[in-house]
Each structure stands twice: as C-alpha cells, then as structure tokens.
Amino acid sequence: MKILLVDDETAILDTLKILFRGEGWDVAVADSGPKALAALEDEKPDIVLTDIRMPGAGGLEVLTAARRVDPEIAVILMTAQASLQTAVRAVNEGAYYYLQKPFVNDELLAICKRAAEARQLRAENKRLKKEIRSRTRSSKDRPIGGAPRFIEVLKLAETVAGTDSTVLISGESGTGKEVVARYIHTLSDRSDEPFLSINCGALPESLLESELFGHVKGSFTGAVRDKDGLLVAAARGTFFLDEIGEMSAATQVKLLRAIQEREVIPVGATQAVPVDVRIVAATNRDLEEEITRGAFRSDLYYRLNVIQLHLPPLRERREDIALLANHFLASSAKESGGQPLRLSDEAIALLVKYDWPGNVRELENALERARVVASGDRIAPDSLPDRVRESPPPKLGSQEMAGNPTMEVVERAYILWVLQSEGGNKSRAAEVLGIDPSTLYRKLNRYGIGE
C-alpha cells in the first residue's frame, strides 16, 4: 500500500515519513497542496493523509482532487483547529476519517491500517464480482450472432470491457450498436452503476447541451431549478452517445472539453462539476469523411476513437439471420406467455435472401408483424412483408452527366458502372473499386442506389 503524506510543516512531515516507513509503508510526500495535487496523478497512492489548512490548496481541495483521480482512494484529514462545520463538509465530500491534532501515533497507524484493509476488501470484492459475471455470462447478455466478422467484434468488445477506454462503435442504422454498448457495460467494473444514453440527433442543440451538461436555475426560459446533466447522472457508470455524428460543432467543443478535463460546466454556471464516467459513442456516418467536409472535429474524433468497433450490416452476416429470427420469436413468445412460432423452410429462405437495409431492427419488426398475422404454429412466406417476399434485384439506375459534373456525380456514375459490370455483386464491386464493402454500402445509401 502506498500512502501520500501532505503537510506544509516540514517537522510534522518528516515525523510522519519516519513513522510510516518504519511500519513498512510505501511513502510519498508533498509539502504543499499544489504538490499534493500533482502527486495524486504521479504516485497513484492508495491512502492520502493530509493537513486541512495549507496555503495554495487545502486538504479539502486535495480530497476533491483525490476522489476525481480515484474514487476508491481513502483520504484522512488532519487539523489542529477542528470545527463541526469543516468535519461535516469533509465527511459529505467522501473523507474516510477526520483526525484532530495532536494525535497518538498508534491511533493514526490503526486508522490508516483500517483504511488500507477496507480498500483491499473493495478491490477484492470488485475482482470477485467481475469473475462471477464472467462465469455466469448468459446468452441473453451476449448479442446474438455467430458470423466470423461479428464474433471478432464481440471478442474485441469483451477484451476492452474491463478498461475505461473510450469506445467508438460504427455501423449502419439498426445493426445493434446500443446492444453492444450495453454488453460492454455489463462486462465492465462499472456494471453496478447506471448505463445512460442519448441520441444526439433527436434533440435540438440547446436542449442537447442542457441534457448533456445540465443547467442552473434561471439560465434560460423554463429553467426553474438546477438540473444535473446526464454525464453527471451517469456517475461511475457508462454514458452512451448515439449518433455522435449529428452533434453540432459548438456542442462538440464542449464535449471534447468534458472528456479531456473530466468535468462539465452546466449551462449558466461558472463552476465546473467533476465527472467520472466511461464514454461509448456510436455513429452510422463515416466520421473521417465528415472531418474532411468540416462537419466533425478531428480532435474529438481522436478522443472518441481510442477503441473502434465496426458492426457489419446484416446482409454481410446472412448466416445469423435465421438465428436472430428464432431468437426474436422466442422472446416474443416469452413476453406473451405462449409457445414460439416456427419458421417454414421457405420463409427462412426468403429472410436469408433479403438484403435488410434496416438491418437487425428491420428483421425484428418483420418477425413481429409475421407473428401477429400468422395462422397456426408456423410462419409461412405469406406472413412476411411484401418487400421480403418479392425481394427485387437491386435497382442500379442511371444518371446523365451534366456539362460540368461534380465529383459526387462522377463518383456515383462510376460506382453504378462497376456494379453493372459485376452483375450487381456488391462484394466484387467493392474489390474493383478498391474500398471496403462497408464503405461501398455507405456510398450506396448516400447516393440512393439500391433503394
């Protein structure tokens, strides 16, 4: 165990250093509040023993900073001028103990030993909980799928879940980005804390800012009371930012600051509020293209893109379609208390053939519709939506060149020509174009090809 001793009186600091080193402690020292704040990051102590009254930054400031660096650090405050008000504030802000000078050395050692034992117990408890979660992980926690590309994504998600690294999940709408985000949260050390989410494209800029960072009473019309933002409300948990590519430039700046400084400034406030939250973001856009267009900040992108997970569209994992379909039917039956319907071979063949532009979400909705309209205990082709039964070949279309065509017009025409040359096979077309299939699908959606 490492202890950080903080006191501006050299004699007391030397005495404490000798005392704790004599008991076998790993000791770090700081003779001022500002030096203590730096030592919290550099030394990573388990216990902090600090005087309250010091110039520059006092013990309460050290306490706040320690809790921000590591909420599990035990902070013991010492003072020669005890007051009930200071003691209450210290306890409310998370101090482990409040000790009045002069003290008996044995009493101080006993307090620090208890603090160390409590920290060890919490660490062991977290380790055991993580181990139990790993052993008892059920199929309902793990996203459904057995396709090699999808399994590769899940394995990476499981690897990074135990860290606090920021994760960026990319993929088309409906591919299950939030499901994977929740899976990461479930496997993490933060699983006992909140998982909160927000869709960045569903709210106007002013409301999104208030929801993210909070506001103070009177900061705008309708702000009748102080309100914590979701970043604060998700304390010690995971915060999921869906469709991050829809966020305005101004809000991107504020989010970048919140991630870098680990604090937010509510709308209308002047004081920052510390936050301890793991960020998982998701987008259905190509953020590198958005950066090129000036629509997304590169510095925020690199902050978010520490770990990237790309979810393949359902048409690129067709072997999972029947598995997902049966899962949705079983889940619906469980909710309604009935027996799950079975899919006929013909219905399964149609489901696998269809391209599912809406991905897993569209498949789930199609199965819900089929369950409602089906007669008997089997789902036949006539229970499926018309678009699935008909499953038309892709409409390649054509577009005449203008006198001075834009790059987009040229690119669209070239993609169409390659697709036609390859008989509509998108995988082969992507190889000819020299781009990843997922990039080709994004461009097809962007240019309205294949709809």
Q: Alpha-carbon torsion 8, 14, 18, 19, what sign?
A: negative
Flag whether pLDDT at 378 surpasses 80: yes
Q: What is the mean pLDDT of residues 363-368?
A: 95
Residue that is written with structure tokens 């050299």 in the block: 10
Q: Is the dihedral of CA 275, 62, 60, 1 positive or negative?
A: positive
Of 41, 50, 47, the closest CA to residue 9 belongs to 50
Give the count of beta carbons closer than 10 Å to the beta carbon of residue 416.
18
Place 366 in a pLDDT band, splitting at 50, 70 and 90.
very high
Give 214-246 pLDDT, tens digit per residue: 988 877 777 778 888 999 999 999 999 999 999
pTM (global) more than 0.75: no
Q: Inform me whether the pLDDT recorded for 398 exceeds 60.
A: no
Range from 66-70, 268-272, 274-278, 411-415 that averages highest in pLDDT: 274-278
CATH code, 148-310:
3.40.50.300
Q: Which long-range contacts (CB under 8 A, 24 or more apart) does 9-12 make?
A: 9/51, 12/51
Q: DSSP secondary-structure letter at 267? A: B
Please report the pLDDT score of residue 303 as a whole number: 95
Judged by DSSP in three states, 222 sits in coil
Q: Token pair for residue 65?
A: 């900073």
Q: Is the pLDDT of residue 394 over 70?
A: no
Tokens 């008996």 sit on residue: 104
Q: Quick one: pLDDT at residue 384?
A: 94
By percentage, how much of the chain surpasses pLDDT 70? Answer: 91
Instruction: Say if residue 395's pLDDT is above 50.
Output: no
CA dist 96 → 48, 66, 76, 170 (Å): 10, 12, 6, 42
Q: Model confidence at 360, in pLDDT bands (50, 70, 90)?
A: very high
Q: Return the domain boundaries, the chain.
A: 2-126, 148-310, 314-390, 407-447
More confident residue, 130 or 382: 382
**Residue 243 token pair:** 């469709």
Do 287 and 296 meet the contact criterion of CB atoms below 8 Å apart?
Answer: yes
Q: How far is CA 357 from CA 19, 108, 379, 411, 450, in A?
A: 69, 66, 22, 22, 9
Percent of the chain with pLDDT over 90: 54
Q: What is the pLDDT of residue 397?
A: 43
User: What pLDDT shows up at residue 438?
Assistant: 82
Domains 2-126 and 148-310 share a fold: yes
What local confidence, expressed as pLDDT, does residue 140 receive?
Answer: 53
Q: What is the mean pLDDT of the chain?
A: 87
Q: Is the pLDDT of residue 347 over 80?
A: yes
**What confidence score (pLDDT) does residue 404 get?**
60
Q: Using the predicted structure, report yes or no on whether residue 134 has a pLDDT greater than 70.
A: no
Q: Top-level CATH class of 407-447?
A: mainly alpha
**Amino acid identity, residue 51?**
D
Average pLDDT, integer, range 32-39: 91
Q: pLDDT, tens digit, for every residue of 400-443?
A: 444 566 677 777 778 887 777 666 778 878 888 888 888 888 88
Task: Specify the pLDDT at position 136.
Answer: 55
- C-alpha pair distances (Å), 318 with each of 149, 315, 363, 393: 11, 5, 12, 17
Q: Which two tokens stand for residue 206?
A: 């002013």
pLDDT of residue 231: 94
Confidence of residue 168 (pLDDT cuts 50, 70, 90): very high
Structure tokens at 85: 């008000």
Rg (CA), the chain: 29
User: Which of 24, 75, 84 minimizes the C-alpha distance to 45?
Assistant: 75
Architecture of the 314-390 domain: Orthogonal Bundle (1.10)
Task: Quote the CA–CA distance of 98 and 374 in Å, as a whole number.
Answer: 69
Exposed, middle or buried, 305 (CB in 10 Å: 0-12/13-18/19+)?
A: middle
pLDDT digits (tens, 9 = 90+) for 242-256: 999 999 999 999 999
When comparing pLDDT for 269 and 381, which is higher?
A: 381
Taking the C-alpha atoms of residue 256 and residue 212, their distance in angstroms, rounded to an integer, is: 12
Which segment of 73-82, 238-247, 320-329, 371-380 scores lowest on mean pLDDT?
73-82
Angstrom distance (rounded) from CA 445 to CA 440: 9
pLDDT at 206: 84
Give me the mean pLDDT over the 180-189 stretch: 93
Closest-CA residue to 213 (of 197, 233, 241, 185): 233
CATH number assigned to the domain covering 2-126:
3.40.50.2300
CA angle in degrees (0–180, nearest 5) for 322-394-327: 15
61-115 residue pLDDT tens: 999 899 888 888 999 998 877 666 777 777 777 888 888 888 899 999 999 999 9
Mean pLDDT of all residues in 10-28 = 93
Contacts 24+ apart (CB under 8 A), 108-111: 108/19, 108/49, 109/19, 109/20, 109/23, 111/76
Q: How far is CA 273 from CA 56, 215, 263, 266, in A?
A: 20, 11, 5, 8
Q: How far is CA 245 from CA 221, 288, 373, 397, in A?
A: 28, 10, 38, 29
